[in-house]
Amino acid sequence: MAHDTKPPKKKYQRPPPIINEHGHLEWRVEVILEAKLRRRIGGMRRSQIYKIRWKGYPPDDDTWVTHKALLKCKALDQWLETQKRQAVQIKPEPKLEDIVKQENPYTP
């Protein structure tokens, strides 16, 4: 008889939304997981959307949210700052021979 060795799933409380001063429901963002561009069907307009992990909710409840919906969110500021830092770290310094080749493509 085989035993299930998987650890028990974490139980989530799923906290209720917060009602802001305007009477709108709000949820807390734990972390932004990823971002992508979304194209509108039939148009050229694109918008940034973010995959959100909500505080107190399981990964099954992760959802895609528009940039506009996150404008006053600290998690968005942190995400953008992290992406900026990673972009700076990823770019290697160009080698001198690469710079010379770019300036004169006809150099053997």
**Where does the pLDDT of residue 97 fall: very low under 50, low under 70, confident under 90, or very high at 90 and above?**
low
**Where does the pLDDT of residue 102 fall: very low under 50, low under 70, confident under 90, or very high at 90 and above?**
low
Over residues 29-51, the mean pLDDT reads: 85
- Write down all domains in the chain, each with its CATH number in brackets: 22-103 (2.40.50.40)
Burial class (CB in 10 A: 0-12, 13-18, 19+), 45: exposed
- Give the model's pLDDT for residue 54: 94
* Greater pLDDT, 42 or 77: 77
Paired with 63 in beta bridges are 52
Q: What is the pLDDT of residues 51-92, one digit of tens each?
A: 999 999 999 999 999 999 998 889 999 989 988 888 776 556
**Phi-psi category of residue 94: left, alpha or beta, with phi > 0 → left and psi -120 to 50 → alpha:** beta
Task: Check whether 9 has a pLDDT greater than 80.
Answer: no
Could you tell me the pTM of the whole model? Answer: 0.65
The whole-angstrom distance between residue 18's C-alpha and the CA centroid of its chain comes to 23
Task: Check whether 45 has a pLDDT greater than 60.
Answer: yes
